[in-house]
Each structure stands twice: as structure tokens, then as C-alpha cells.
Amino acid sequence: VAEEGVDVLEVAKSAVDAAMKAGATFADARVGTDLTESITVRNQQMEGIDRGESTGVGVRVLVDGRWGFASTARLDEAEIARTAGVAVELARAATRLPGDPVRLDHVEPVVDSWRSPMNEDPFTVPLEEKVALLMEATRRAQQVKGVTFAEGGLDFFRRSTWFASSDGAAIDQVTTQSGGGIEAVAIGEGDMQRRSFPNSFRGHISAAGWEHIRTLALIEEAERTGREAVELLAAPECPSEVTTIVLDSGQVELQIHESIGHPVELDRVLGMEEAYAGSSWLKPQDRGKVRYASPLVSITADATLSGGLGSFGYDDEGVAAQRTPVIVDGIFENFLTNRETAPVVGQDSNGTSRADGWSHLPLIRMTNISIEPREGTLADIIGDTEDGLFMATNQSWSIDDKRINFQFGCEIAWRIRKGKLTQVYKNPNYTGITPEFWGSCDAVGGRESWMLWGTPNCGKGQPGQVARVGHGASPARFRDVRVGVRG
């Protein structure tokens, strides 16, 4: 919409004005435009190529201490006023039940612009170049004898947001994200094995431009990816035992996401997500008291990192991006908060309120939740392990409603014997209890093995919202873990 010469911030301000006129005591509005492009190739054929665009405005209000939120795709003046009125009606209806009124923390209103870093705009790179990259990468994987199909995908995403509030904030932001990956699948008698590169579920996504795709080495790694898929078909099943496991940084990413990122969301802790995604094993009074992990583990929420899917200038409440220690040397220190929940723990928001675009109410969402690097490479950790399993690349995940009991599957595992990788196993998985598992961590890789991964599919809320979040992760080692769970 900005390209059409409209002062979009003024549209957002008009929505705020309409809401205040309708009776709101506080209002904010986000006009947003999402652009997407997705390309998928399988076995040298186009599986799909699509582009999408979505524009609209969401208005959030407080009336008598209750929230109302309404959104519309039509940006004419009358529709915006109507939508603001609907938001006020919703908030008024919420007063039908008694309850503590919402009180927001104090935030100095900001007037600013922010852009995520990008060298080469992925939306202007010719489609031919994108398709050619995937064709060549999948051709190389498919050349490996025994590969049934090879698939490659590229995804590009741009979100433009114009935010205004009745406090006087006026912020425009643009985030551009690029990602890509390949996978090879080998199908045998009653068996299917998959290897992905650089990560599963559409690869490695970063808040960057086409230059990120150039660094992925999809073509260079395609043949190895195919070979490993075929090798897995002939490999034995991961044994069932209790042992030491080393996880690659891609799996540590999801382990952080599910067993640390979600349970430290303060809205979950306060029961606000109880009926759907669940709550948390943590309590508000646990800050500074609970040992969450071994002293080697420090976790930080950092929206100021460059290149993360959870990086931004301001969250969807106009709160500046921040770096917050979540776990320090194994002790739980801070929740992820927003303006509504932070006062419950005597704090101001640490800036994690984000919505799935203009049509959704902002919720507490992970930013970039990362493990702080310690020492050594993956090879160093494996070399230092007498006996155990090295598991790589997430395949599946499951965790209970309080984020205590989890089970993860990986694509591949290797037996570690006297510091060397030996036997390959298929269908590896492991299970554990969150504080016990993190408490058993006795090695975390250093900066040289740390990767800032993107998780573009984090689900939460009703109606369902999908967030794009980041996780910095090094490979790590855990002791006495149950592996090889079978049905």
C-alpha cells in the first residue's frame, strides 16, 4: 500500500482516532502488508510456485480494562471506523464477566522507522535463477542411486508494518526473510528415510536477502544428503537404551524452542493459554530460584540480534527490541513478557508481543531464544565422548501441556565409540523430563559451532497464530538419556 502513495501511518492513526472516539481508553492499530514467495521443486519438476500478498488493519482497544480486537482487509475510512467500533463493542462485551482490569506498564511512545538488514532483495532476483538453483541441487541429490525423490524449496517473506497508538507512538518497520533447503527421500520395502540440508522443514531461514541463499551450499551438499538417505534404508533401528547423546545445533534449536522457549512465556504461566497450547511448569515466583539446567546452560532472549526471525526494531506494542537473560548458569531468571503481563512480576515489558500479521491480536512470542556458546566444536564434543549417540536434524516433536515430558525424533544417529562416529542408526528418538534433561547437559559448543536458526512455524493462540522465531544453538551433550522409544 505504501507504493500507492498513501501515508500508511496516517491510516493507522485514523484507526486509533476512530477507536478513541468510539469510547476506548487506549488503542493501537497496525496496518500491515505481507508478501510471500515460495518455490518447490521435486525430481526436476515444479511442485509449486506461488506468490502471495495480504494487506489490512487490526485495531486493539481497552475499554473498562478489557481488550477488544478487530481487523479488516478494507482500508477505506468508513470500514476502518466500523472496525474500530467493533473492537470497542467486543471489549464492552467482555465486561459481562467480572475480573481484574488490564493495566499496562509504562512505555515511552516512540516515533521511528526500522528495516531488517538485507543486501540483495530476494523479491527482485529473477525467478529463473531461483528455479535453476533448486533444479541443480535436486538433480545432484537425485543422481545418487537409491534416492526415490529429491525436493528443494525456497521461501521469501516480507512484512511491512505501520503502528500507531493513542500514547503517540508511530513506527514503521520492514522485515525481509529468506530461506531454502533440500531433502532426499529413499523408499524401500515398508520403509522411508529422509535426510535434509541444512535443516528439516524448509531448510535454514534468516532475516536477510538473497545473499543468505548464496551461503547455504545447497548444490554442494546435495549429493551427501542423498547418500545419507540411502544409507539409512540399510541401517539398523536406533537401539532402545539409556545413554549419552550429542545433539547437532539444529536439534538443540528445537529442544530450546519446545522445552525452554514456550514454558518461559508469562501468558502461559498465568494460565492465559491453558485451554489450547497449555500452561507451564514454571510459576511467577520462580524467577531467580529454580534450577532449570546445568551451570553450563545460559539462555538469552535477544530481539536485537542481526538476522534472526525474532529480530525487530519494536514489537507489536511499540516496545523496543531487547536482550534479556532467561537462564543464567542454569538458574531461571526471566520470563518473556508483554505490557499486560510484565507488571505481574514487577517489571516492564521485555518486548515480546507479536502478532501473526495485521489480522491477529499480539501475544507473547519468542524472539531469538538462544543458548549462549561455551567451548569447542562438534568434533571436540564427539571426540570427548567415550560412548553414546550423535543425533542430527529434527524429524518430529511432542511435549506435554506444562512442557515437562518431551519426545523428539531425529533423521539420523551415529554410535559414538571412544570419540569416533561409527554405526549409523535410523529412526532415532529420545525422551526426557525438561529440568532433568537440561540438568544433565555437560557440554555446549563454542561460538564457532553456534548457528542462528529460524523456526517459521511456531503455533499458539486462538484463533491459531503462526510466529516466525529464531534460536541460536550450538551442539550439546546430555547424559543418561532414554533413546529408541518404540510403539
Partner 1 sequence: MPGLIGADGFHRTAEAALGLEGVDGVEVLFLHEWGGLTRFAKSEIHQSAWREDTGLHVRVVRDGRVGVATSNDFSPEGALRAARSAKEMVDVVAPDPMWPGLAGPAEPAVREAFDDATADASAERRAEAVATLIAGCPDRFTAAGAFETRAIEVGIANTQGQRCWAPSTQASLTVVTSGGESGNGFAEVFSGRMQDVDPEAVGARAADKAVASQNPKPLDPGVYPVVLEPAAVSTLTGFLAYVGFGGRSLIEGRSCFSGKEGEKVAADSISIWDDASDPSTLGVPFDFEGVPRQRVDLIEDGVFLGAVYDRRTAKEAGRDSTGHGLPAPNPEGPFPLNLFLATGDASVEDMVAATERGVLVTRFHYSNVVNPVESSITGMTRDGTFLIENGEIVGPVMNFRFTQSILDALSDVSMIGADPELASEFFFSAARVPALKVERFNFSGRSDH
By CB under 8 A, what part of segment 217-276 binds partner 1? 270-276
Contact by Cβ (8 Å): 468, 310: yes
What's the grid cell of residue 129? 535463477
**C-alpha cell belonging to residue 304:** 536485537
Contact criterion met (CB below 8 Å) for 456 and 309: yes
CB of 90 to partner 1, least distance (A): 4
Please report whether residue 26 would count as binding partner 1 according to CB under 8 A.
no
Sites for partner 1 among residues 329-388 (CB under 8 A): 359-361
Give yes or no for residue 46 binding partner 1 (CB under 8 A).
Answer: yes
Give the binding range for partner 1 (CB under 8 A) out of 127-135, 159-167, 242-250, 313-321.
127-135
- Asked if 54 touches partner 1 (CB under 8 A), the answer is yes
380 vs 401 by CB, closer to partner 1: 401
- Footprint of partner 1 on 413-472 (CB under 8 A): 427, 429, 431, 433, 462-464
Q: How far is CA 468 from each of CA 116, 260, 355, 358, 454, rounded to the nearest angstrom?
A: 14, 16, 10, 14, 7
Decide whether 79 or 380 has the Cβ nearer to partner 1: 79
Please state the closest distance from residue 447 (CB atom) to partner 1, in A: 32
3 binds partner 1 (CB under 8 A): no
Distance CA 429, CA 240 (A): 9
Told to check if 149 binds partner 1 by CB under 8 A, we report: yes
List 4, 50, 145, 418, residue binding partner 1 (CB under 8 A): 50
CA 290, 293, 294, 296 torsion: positive or negative?
A: negative
Q: Does 145 bind partner 1 (CB under 8 A)?
A: no
Residue 20 or 233: the one with the smaller Cβ distance to partner 1 is 233
- Rounded to whole angstroms, what are the CA distances from 115 to 165, 171, 356? 20, 11, 18
Considering beta carbons, is residue 323 or 402 the nearer one to partner 1? 402
Angle between the N-to-C axes of helices 127-142 and 222-234, in degrees from 0 to 180, rounded to the nearest 10: 40
Please report whether residue 5 would count as binding partner 1 according to CB under 8 A: no
Q: Is residue 17 part of the contact set for partner 1 (CB under 8 A)?
A: no
Question: Residues 401, 419, 440, 456: which binds partner 1 (CB under 8 A)?
Answer: 401
CA angle 299, 300, 305 (to 5 degrees): 140
Other Cβ atoms within 10 Å of 124 Cβ, number:
8
